[in-house]
Structure 1
Amino acid sequence: MSVPRRRRRLPDEVRSAAVRAVLSLAFTLVGVVVATLASYAGSWLMTPALLAMGVGVFGTMWCLLEILISRQVAAQRQRGPNSASPMAGSRVAPEPLAARPFPRPGATPPQHQPQHRPPQPHRPPQPHPPQQPYPPQQPYQRRMPPGRQYGS
């Protein structure tokens, strides 16, 4: 039987944004109920309740957007600068390059390479052409429009 993984606690700014969203949603639902009952009764409370409901819907959407933004900020803060991937902290770090053995001819390929490659025909190594030294460079000369002199 596997042990269930414990969920990590949300960062404080995300939790406070979620609490504000729940409170805003609760007040909006109260406004909906009051507006509905006031409309059945024909009361003057229907207009302020509808206004409160409209403001509550706007506030709830604002709080939901705040939750999304604060989650992104908290995730970036957790990853830290120069992190390779969003899940960098959740995996075991790969072994350094110096500790990996060199591949040897005839050895089995590592598991991460696909095994279904068609065989490649053997090509003899091609000799490299001799390298030419860089050509001498001319000193930079500023181009002036015709009829103008330097320093004039």
Structure 2
Amino acid sequence: MGVTRRTDRAARRGRLPDEVRSAAVRAWISFSFTLVSVMVTLLASLADGWLFVPAVLVTALGFFASTWCLLEIWIARQIAAQRVWSSDAHPAWTPQGGPGRPPRGHRPRPA
């Protein structure tokens, strides 16, 4: 009856490249550790304990690491997209890099 299953949509979409998947896993791990350190910082501030200052420093480093991981995901996706559009024989920055993506505004001429 035309019911679309989740596996059908996932099969159409394709699989992420290994570099992107591993970068996403690192980002989730970094984010989870940052979230735990935020909770430790909050509890240390409420308890007025000695652990507050080191917890703030660890939280700041975790925030930086999470931002770095998100940037890594973005770069890995751009590299994977460039790899798909370029030829295997030549790098993408050389003029003989294969057909690749047509330039913007390019329309094929009618025969």
Match status 1:18 vs 2:18: no
Counterpart code for 2:55: A
Deviations 1:57-83 (A, max 9, x none): 000000000000000000000111331
1:84 aligns to what? 101
Counterpart secondary structure, 2:14: coil
2:68 aligns to what? 62
2:80 aligns to what? 74
Match status 1:33 vs 2:33: no
Counterpart code for 1:43: G
Counterpart secondary structure, 1:49: helix
1:45 aligns to what? 51
Residues in 2 aligned to 1:56 and 1:62: alpha-carbon distance in whole angstroms? 10
TM-score, normalised with respect to structure 2: 0.72
Structure 2 unaligned spans of 5+:
87-96
Deviations 1:4-49 (A, max 9, x none): 4322111000001101111110111011000000111111111111
Deviations 1:92-136 (A, max 9, x none): xx8xx8xx4xxxxxxxxxxxxxxxxxxxxxxxxxxxxxxxxxxxx
Identical positions, percent? 54
TM-score, normalised with respect to structure 1: 0.54
Residues in 1 aligned to 2:42 and 2:16: alpha-carbon distance in whole angstroms? 36
Structure 1 unaligned spans of 5+:
87-93, 101-152
Counterpart code for 1:72: Q
- Structure 1 stretches (4+) deviating beyond 4 angstroms? none
Counterpart secondary structure, 2:15: coil
